[in-house]
Amino acid sequence: MIEFKNVSKVYPNGTQGLKDINVTIEKGEFVVIVGLSGAGKSTFLRSINRLHEITSGEIIIDGSSITEAKGRDLRIARRDIGMIFQSFNLVKRSTVLRNVLSGRVGYHSTLRTVLGLFPKEDVNLAFNALERVNIVEKAYTRSDQLSGGQQQRVSIARALAQEAKIILADEPVASLDPLTTKQVMDNLQKINQELGITTVVNLHFIDIARQYATRIIGLQAGEVVFDGPVEEATDERFSEIYGRPLETREDEEVGASANESAE
């Protein structure tokens, strides 16, 4: 369970990233965060694992304050949280297997991981993770030889090898085409359903959010302006909240083909 209690974040330049957020995400939920650009989605997500520090309030994970955690406690808390980035964040020149094994670094001494000495159980975990995202045949391929969608599936496997209880995905499909988007989102959904991993995903497009989320949270200027089940997240409702409908993938494609034909 992830609890936001009166959480605010003000950036050093005075920009309010989050404003008095009170939200509880239960174990096993698939929550999608939506909002216009600059609404605070990244700030929200990155506050959970303290990639961003909040300025007031508290975030509690499974009963322990991550906000207050220091040193070893913080490292252990972070071990339970996998992160998926828009840009995949793989070590490009390393093999897929090595990248997935890097999910295990929080469990071992630095020396051991620098030397690449992972125990057999870790290697088994890594292969299982790669199987789960259907990419095991690429285990010994260099990561930069893979397509964007494949790289993103490797980053999901890394979070699985980490044995994360929570997965945070910050715009995981923003650089991917529609077919690959579906594969990556299907993978996230599958591991959420099969392994019960709590999943929080930032998405730009409301139609993709509606296809996968069990709950949608809408942010605007750092505040929660919508929090409810997918059925309530209608275009009408979002138009009322944001003064215009949220973007859909389809809009973008229509826009892109219009641009192409203009050229």
Residues at the site binding ligand ATP, with contacts judged by CB under 6 A: 11, 13, 15, 17, 35, 37-43
Of 250, 26, 49, nearest to 164 by C-alpha is 49
Nearer to ligand ATP by C-beta: 13 or 259?
A: 13
Least separation in angstroms between residue 247's CB and ligand ATP is: 11
- For residue 74, give both structure tokens: 């913080």
> Cα(169)–Cα(45) distance, rounded to whole angstroms?
8
State the amino acid at position 2 in one-letter form: I
Residue 17 and residue 10 in contact, taking contact as beta carbons nearer than 8 Å:
yes
Nearer to ligand ATP by C-beta: 11 or 124?
A: 11
Phi, then psi, of 217 in degrees rounded to 5 = -115, 125
Nearer to ligand ATP by C-beta: 40 or 82?
A: 40
> Cα(13)–Cα(259) distance, rounded to whole angstroms?
37
Residue 103 and residue 158 in contact, taking contact as beta carbons nearer than 8 Å:
yes
Among left, alpha and beta (phi > 0; psi -120 to 50; other), residue 7 is beta
Residue whose token pair is 């020396």: 111
Least separation in angstroms between residue 207's CB and ligand ATP is: 16
Nearer to ligand ATP by C-beta: 37 or 261?
A: 37
For the CA atoms of 87, 90, 94, 97, the dihedral, rounded to the nearest 10 degrees, stands at -130
Nearer to ligand ATP by C-beta: 41 or 249?
A: 41
Least separation in angstroms between residue 181's CB and ligand ATP is: 16
- For residue 150, give both structure tokens: 């494949």
Least separation in angstroms between residue 15's CB and ligand ATP is: 4
Least separation in angstroms between residue 226's CB and ligand ATP is: 14
Nearer to ligand ATP by C-beta: 107 or 242?
A: 242
Least separation in angstroms between residue 86's CB and ligand ATP is: 9
